[in-house]
Amino acid sequence: MPARILITGASGCVGQYTAHWLLQNSDADLLLWLRDPSKLTAIQANNPRVRLLVGDLRETDRFASDLATVTRVIHTATAWGDPERAHQVNVVAVKRLLALLNPNLIEQITYFSTASILNRHLQPLPEALAYGTEYIQTKAQCLSDLEQHPLAEKIVAVFPTLVFGGRVDGTSPFPTSYLTEGLAEASKWLWLARFLRADASFHFIHAADIAAICGHLAVTPHQRNAEPGQGAVRRIVMGQPAISVNEAVATLCRWRGVARTPGIPLWPWLIETLIKILPIEVNAWDRFSIKQRHFIHNPVTQPERFGGTSHAADLEAVLQDSGLPHRGGV
């Protein structure tokens, strides 16, 4: 009998890439939970394997009968901005959703968090709960709660790094991620960035590669967490190998045909000066991030870990996929 997979946040960038992957690579029936069906641009709503659950995640009990029938959950839905709504969606609704699953039927829950709440060894950052944004705090709180949940051994927590997806020119059927949308704006600042050098590094991943990882997890037998030093919940940070900010700026400059200069190091005192003179609002979490600088993790997972091939294994492939005009030659 085909798997019955629930995807929350199904109209979002990652949700649609994941649903598309499962329709192409499995025979699973999909329950797509979303608030606005008109935003479902990459998936045919009338596909016989698709059923839409239209409503807010806070209306969980409306779909109690459907939730009791699913064998797998891919929970991508999230909220930020308003602290009360973030708590209700990112913590309360998650617990209620899990409570409505049939514990004898459910095989696996893939829960989306964020890599920002983990240190380089995939352990929770105390600072995330201490002074993170409402989004960061609720994600940290939920992960802590899930470690103690009766279904903990069936939960895989996935932690995306910086997510690209869709196209800046709007020609992709998939929604454009916030990071891809920001490429055009970032290009406008290359005239300044080309003069600067920063001692910082990060991971990124394309939504198509997130979908490949989550799809693999959803169609293969669930494995309990065997990682030493972790709890019952399995942790997977999704990202390509780390690159430096300087490498990223150099790649973007080459792509846009902007000449780089020897550069001025962004010393801490210079960063503080720029914060003071530029119209930038900086909160406690921002200051922690500036101080930390290197948002890297080990291990970090790509589709290759599960026998797949990355859709965008490097930043140049991301730029090619994004539709950002290429003006190379420098």
- List all residues 6 or more positions away from 19 whose beta carbon is below 8 Å from its beta carbon: 7, 10, 30, 32, 42, 43, 50
Judge whether 180 and 168 are in contact, CB under 8 Å.
yes
- Tell whether 254 and 291 lie within a shared domain: yes
- Tell whether 18 and 104 lie within a shared domain: yes
User: What is the C-alpha separation between 220 and 215, in angstroms, rounded?
Assistant: 9
User: What is the C-alpha separation between 34 and 52, in angstroms, rounded?
Assistant: 7
Q: By residue range, what is the domain housing residue 271?
A: 167-202+241-296+313-322
- Tell whether 254 and 109 lie within a shared domain: no
pLDDT in tens, the chain (330 residues): 789 999 999 999 999 999 999 999 999 999 999 999 999 999 999 999 999 999 999 999 999 999 999 999 999 999 988 899 999 999 999 999 999 999 999 999 999 999 999 999 999 999 998 888 999 999 999 999 999 999 999 999 999 999 999 999 989 999 999 999 999 988 988 888 888 888 889 999 999 999 999 999 999 999 888 888 788 999 999 999 999 999 999 999 999 999 988 777 665 655 566 656 666 666 676 666 767 778 899 999 999 999 999 999 999 999 999 999 998 654
Whole-structure pTM value: 0.93
Number of domains in the chain: 2
- Tell whether 138 and 31 lie within a shared domain: yes
Note the pLDDT of residue 195. 82
CATH number at residue 29: 3.40.50.720
| Helical spans, DSSP H, in the chain | 13-25, 64-67, 83-87, 93-99, 126-131, 134-147, 178-187, 190-193, 207-219, 245-256, 268-277, 284-292, 315-322
- Residue after which a domain boundary falls, among 238, 260, 286: 238
- List all residues 6 or more positions away from 21 whose beta carbon is below 8 Å from its beta carbon: 208, 211, 212, 214, 215
User: What is the C-alpha separation between 138 and 135, in angstroms, rounded?
Assistant: 5
Burial environment of residue 157 by CB neighbours within 10 A (0 to 12, 13 to 18, 19 or more): buried
- Tell whether 246 and 234 lie within a shared domain: no
